Structure 1
């Protein structure tokens, strides 16, 4: 049975750092679905920094085009809407523009009875869900807890979305506990991994490290992700770097992604902290397999308490032991990583790993990873959707 799906994302398809949304679209396409991937509609009010201005300019260019086919079964569109609109007139204009644009795109692609699959908690404010055969809400983060968001509005509309959805999927137990009160058809499917890609890279682990990494002495402790103050505990990283100056802390990612006010000057004077900048997904694993330990030095707050870090499984798949702060979403995976509450805990855990006192159980990790793939999760989700339909 062919499924046509309008997937309303909170991330742009062409963004170099892929998230759940792009990977899920690919996995759905591999199951025979046709996807109209709708780029982020702008939940956060843009700032005047160069990154946001570049995105605005790119959106203006793409917003005048018909959907672009980027993969077999996947087309991407970038509607022209005003981000984070709060005035009633602008919201009504956004709604009219988006609905008309999506109608044109679906007509162009000859979609029939499409489902609406959304990551955007404000979807009902912009899209008429009655025009779709099913409404699916895939909740992967507590977006209202992110900096710069209109949290009161998001909370109200997200509850309406959950109550209206035919089915809700969540990626952490904390998200499940909150959303199931709004919709009993809420199901927990944790984050997963593109295992085929990781296997292809890890098999070539003997290759030389990238030049920017080769100059960094070992042992190399790696953090990959958004280097943002609401996610990363910079105080913990600084303490770790000071306590063990012979260790190299390698940071890969964009500074201030999702939080333009991020300030990393706390780490600037540390000679053993290396910032390598963002890397494309296709290049990232050559860095990961040439490091020694994967770090998750997460700040503890409302956002991270609901977050299942995608890098947890990716570290494991690249052969890296993982050391992390205490995250509720990882509680059921405690046998696969070292859980720490302080910088001194991090030091102890890392020393046990580096001296061989903590053993990396490759067989157990392999068994975990093969049960946590995008393919397996997508099949389960589609079966769950079909079960709702049949019921």
Structure 2
């Protein structure tokens, strides 16, 4: 039996989304998948869908249950690791193959990366800048790009008949500019303040992460806090324009933002700062090369939204199902042998 284990990643919502989606895709394709976390619920293992199991209390599971799986004849076990600090578990678990999925350019993790790469059969990454850096650092290793994607189960691409404005959206009859994601230090706050000088309402859906909601003092700034992905279909239809207002730095240059696919799936105009991965989504994502150009494009698309169907079509060409096909083709190369 081909089994794939996703060891725990760091407990940040955007870090969990990709491995969760890929685990679901592999289960749909017939693999037995264990998606692991460090929670300690009473039920140690839960079946979330056919062949997809969520493992609670990962350390205990590795100690007590994993040896039985490892010793069962015919089981070929692979590890899909998104966090390079997990190398000690590779040593302990001795899987048949390992894929290192490099999803972000976090400097604090890079000192753990060489050992993870050494023990991996291949490296997957989410963006061209990550690919270029990894190819330079590890020229001897096979490296593939598998970008993020859109989850059609969110139904953002479907026409929503409801015209009921959620209670927590502003009702000022001003255009709504939306941002979905962590309110984090990589947000370009100077750009945000520049945008707030316009006659718009800026709506932020997402949790605080190292950046304070309360430092703006503007009546047209609305922080709604965290919403589940399933709730986005209640909000995105009411946004006139969606934005990715990130600073330009080493971290953001490596990002392939899931939010871009979700915005486009809802048919919304998208304006981003000049990030390499958003640049390659043009013309579906517009780039603001300066603060003034960014704001100018937001204001333009408020009144000239353009063709929503083209954006939706683009998102549906870049779903997690498509990414699942890519990773299955890569994994098949490793499932016919054991170390």
Whether the TM-score (by the shorter chain) exceeds 0.5 is yes
Post-superposition shift, 1:136?
0.9
- Secondary structure of the structure 1 residue equivalent to 2:283: helix
Structure 1 residues 387 and 226: CA distance shift in structure 2, 3 A = same
Contact 2:131 2:144 in 1 (8 A): yes
Deviations 1:3-48 (A, max 9, x none): 21111232559x69961121111111111111111126xxxxxxxx
Structure 1 residues 208 and 5: CA distance shift in structure 2, 3 A = same
Structure 1 residues 388 and 322: CA distance shift in structure 2, 3 A = same
Contact 1:202 1:289 in 2 (8 A): no
| Residue 113 (structure 2) pairs with residue 158 (structure 1) | yes
- Specify the alignment match of 1:383 in structure 2: 329
How many angstroms apart in 2 are the aligned matches of 1:354 and 1:17? 31
With the length of structure 1 as denominator, give the TM-score of the two structures. Answer: 0.77
How many angstroms apart in 1 are the aligned matches of 2:160 and 2:246? 30
Of residues 25, 31, 34, the one that matches 2:32 is: 34
What is the number of equivalent residue pairs in this alignment? 335
Post-superposition shift, 1:265?
3.4
- Specify the alignment match of 1:121 in structure 2: 84
List aligned pairs for 1:285-300, cutoff 5 A.
Answer: 285-300=233-248
Structure 1 residues 328 and 71: CA distance shift in structure 2, 3 A = same
List aligned pairs for 1:21-170, cutoff 5 A.
Answer: 21-39=19-37, 59=39, 61-62=40-41, 65-79=43-57, 99-101=62-64, 103=66, 106=69, 112-128=75-91, 131-144=94-107, 151=108, 154-170=109-125
Gaps of 5+ in 2: none
Of residues 258, 283, 297, the one that matches 1:335 is: 283
Structure 1 residues 265 and 12: CA distance shift in structure 2, 3 A = closer
Post-superposition shift, 1:66?
2.2
Over the residues paired in the alignment, what is the CA RMSD in angstroms? Answer: 2.9
- Secondary structure of the structure 2 residue equivalent to 1:180: helix
| Residue 192 (structure 2) pairs with residue 227 (structure 1) | no
- Secondary structure of the structure 2 residue equivalent to 1:202: coil
- Secondary structure of the structure 1 residue equivalent to 2:330: helix
Gaps of 5+ in 1: 41-58, 82-96, 145-150
How many angstroms apart in 2 are the aligned matches of 1:340 and 1:350? 9
- Specify the alignment match of 2:126 in structure 1: 171
- Specify the alignment match of 1:237 in structure 2: 192
Contact 2:123 2:144 in 1 (8 A): yes
